[in-house]
Structure 1
Amino acid sequence: MAEQHTPRSLIVTFYGAYGRTAEGPVAVSALIRLLGAAGVDAPSVRSSVSRLKRRGFLLPARAADGSAGYGLSEEARELLEDGDRRIYARPPAAGEEPAWLLATFTVPEQERHKRHLLRSRLARLGFGTVAPGLWIGPAHLEDETRHTLGRLGLTSYVELFRGSHLGFAPTAEAVARWWDLTSLAKQHEEFLDLHEPVLRSYQSGPAPTPEAAYRDYLLALDTWRRLPYADPGLPRDLLPSDWPGDRSAAVFGELHARLRDVGAGFTDL
């Protein structure tokens, strides 16, 4: 199975993994070298950096050697910090009584563009839909939801509730209606198809070189970082017994432990 990594996504992933720990802005020449190791050519790096600058994600500045470079905006740092809490979170423990976060909102017709923004943002946070206008997520999403809606200036339109599911369908059946579990399972399986063989090669072979560790970690993280948003950490007891999310989380966790710090040696930032 071929995997598609867009240059823009890989640049965001690079800054999340390595670029924000650099001492100052990252030189354009360094970005070209480091993204080149992941298969991105120089023109694609330059055009993608320009798009990220227009979006306010990157800010132009001089690197430590005086050359042209790019650092993160404050908003970008906030987005990456929010992502850390989701991407590196531990899966929820089995056997706990599930608690739910409910969201409903009302937006005046003259501001209907904010209605679309709310729907898309709740979906990106991993909420499922109980009924039109009623969204549901695991209760542990509360702080992130409050922070995200506050940052976007949307809290005045939303009401949040916390509680338990009391019926009438069994909760596991309801969860299968609220989320597309078939699609989520397929995303986990695709991650495993692509990156579990990489992990096996390191488990049975020699230690990775810094360049190999950097490349394989960047590609794995670029794939993985979307999954904890599509699958927001649903209670394990409510998922199918053969749920592949457990294995994909374990594979990513071991790749992170084996490769991230070794790969930092290749970045030379």
Structure 2
Amino acid sequence: MAEQRTPGSLIVSFYGAYGRDVDGGRVPVAALIRLLAEVGVDAPAVRSAVSRLKRRGFLAAAGSGRGGAYALTADARQTLDDGDRRIYDRPAVKDDGEWTLAVFTVPESERNKRHLLRSRLGRLGFGQAAPGVWIAPAHVGEEARHTLARLELNAYVELFRGTHEGFTPTAAAVARWWDLEGIAALHRQFLEGQEPVLTRLADADPRQAFRDYLLAVDAWRQLPYADPGLPPSLLPDDWPGGVAAEVFGRLHRELRDRGREFVVEQLTA
């Protein structure tokens, strides 16, 4: 998974970080253009991305006025709310040997549901153990149940909870079920881009805090899904995930509220 930084991704990151909480979640397009200009996105790209997000059912028109305004749809708000636990408040990893299994069967006449199921399970952090059998740490189970029901995919899936009893050693099986090397590379990519920001935290005014925080959220928000929080005993000794989470946590604590000051200023300009 490459670093995000597309106009559409940055808009999603903006609504997740600020847009759903400020001014009732209503963001004028003119203000969105000013805000996204701070991270290098020009006005035509913002308008084009807003149109795509509207077609996808992520944004909806919210009131009139020059240039219009947009707010999250109910489904989009639920999606962002669901993501908060992973992105901002990830639970401590339990090394208890418990796993969630998702077993699904989809009729050939509904192949599109099969593709959607695979895609959604992958985005939730499941690894594929066998055809139609996907696995994740036990703590992912609650979110999986809620998400699959919301997407009306629960009729095709059964969820189980249990332990791995063999025959492959669990660490070796985990290395087969997930692309650990690829996930580690994503963590290192995040650290390469975001660790330097730590050196200028003390000097960041609201405008710079907004820039740095939005880019940090955009770089981070997919990582807790690519990496579902596997137990440390099953990961390589030099696993960078813990350091990456600590860096994002510090950026979140020290930049988010300062950046909000700039957002409010732009929304009321």
TM-score class, shorter: over 0.9
Alignment of 1:102-251 (within 5 A): 102-202=101-201, 206-251=202-247
For this pair of structures, how many residues does the alignment match? Answer: 263
3-state SS in 2 of match to 1:121:
helix
Q: CA RMSD in A?
A: 1.6
- Contact 2:4-2:219 within 8 A present in 1 as well: no
Q: CA deviation at 1:199?
A: 1.2
Instruction: Indicate whether 1:51 and 2:52 are aligned.
Output: yes
TM-score between both structures, scaled by the size of structure 2: 0.93
**CA deviation profile, 1:209-237 (whole Å, cap 9, x unmatched):** 00100000000100100000000111122
Contact in 1 for aligned 2:93/2:229 (Cα 8 Å): no
Check the 8 A contact 1:27/1:62 in 2, yes or no: no
In the alignment, the residues of structure 1 paired with residue 135 and residue 67 of structure 2 have an alpha-carbon distance, to the nearest angstrom, of 48
2:35 counterpart of 1:39:
no
Structure 2 SS opposite 1:21: coil
Superposition pairs for residues 19-30 of structure 1, below 5 Å? 19-24=19-24, 25-30=26-31
Instruction: Verify the 8 A CA contact 1:125 1:145 in the aligned structure 2.
Output: yes
For residue 201 of structure 1, report the CA deviation from its aligned partner. 3.0
CA contact (8 A) 1:214 1:264 kept: yes
Give 5+ residue unaligned stretches, structure 1: none
Distance 1:3 1:111, change over 3 A: closer
Q: Is the 2:4–2:218 Cα contact (8 Å) retained in structure 1?
A: no
Q: 1: CA distance between counterparts of 2:240 and 2:192?
A: 11
Deviation, 1:91, is 5.4
> CA shift at 1:86, angstroms?
1.1
Corresponding residue for 1:83?
83
User: Which aligned segments of 4 or more residues in structure 1 are displaced greater than 6 angstroms?
Assistant: none
Q: Is the contact between residue 9 and residue 218 of structure 2 (CA under 8 Å) also seen in structure 1?
A: yes
Q: Which runs of 5+ in 2 are unaligned?
A: none
Partner of 1:10: 10
Deviation of residue 132 (structure 1)? Answer: 1.6
TM-score, normalised to structure 1, is 0.93
